[in-house]
Amino acid sequence: LYFSAQEGFLNFYHIKDQQYEIKVCADISQPISSLIFSPDYTSLLLVTDQGTVYSYRPVHSGEAVKLLDTSSSCFLAADFLTPGNNYCVSVTISGEVQVWSLEDGTFLSKLSLGIEVHVT
């Protein structure tokens, strides 16, 4: 079980029978607003309130890698662009949909919806 709290830590609960162990997997020092697993569960996107997206690969147990920082564009949400785990899509309040490479955070494309977007 992966979870985060306002402190900006990605935590892992390993639960077996009546026993559990808590492990801190990553410290990104920003409140995490959402965690999104890739379709094949090999990658985890960590999305912060400030508009930064990190990638964490549980199998590698390394650090969370900053993929993109959209803090200047009123970022709302991100998710994997399927099929595969190579790209993610984000959306801003102004209705701009953006596609990013998960390999290195390269901005690839954008589409303006022409309307303001809200999360409910």
pLDDT at 71: 58
What is the distance between the alpha carbons of residues 120 and 117, in angstroms, rounded to a whole number?
Answer: 10
pLDDT (tens digit per residue) in 63-84: 888 877 765 566 777 888 888 7
What is the distance between the alpha carbons of residues 60 and 116, in angstroms, rounded to a whole number?
Answer: 38
pLDDT (tens digit per residue) in 41-51: 888 888 887 77
Averaged pLDDT score across all residues of the chain:
83
pLDDT at 120 over 70: no
Predicted structure pTM score: 0.73
pLDDT at 72: 55
Residue-range domains of the chain with CATH: 2-112 (2.130.10.10)
pLDDT at 70: 63
22: confidence class by pLDDT, cuts 50, 70, 90: confident
Question: Which residues make Cβ contacts (< 8 Å) with residue 45, sequence separation at least 6?
Answer: 34, 35, 36, 37, 38, 53, 54, 55, 67, 78, 79, 80, 88
pLDDT at 27: 87
pLDDT at 109: 92
Mean pLDDT of 101-117: 87
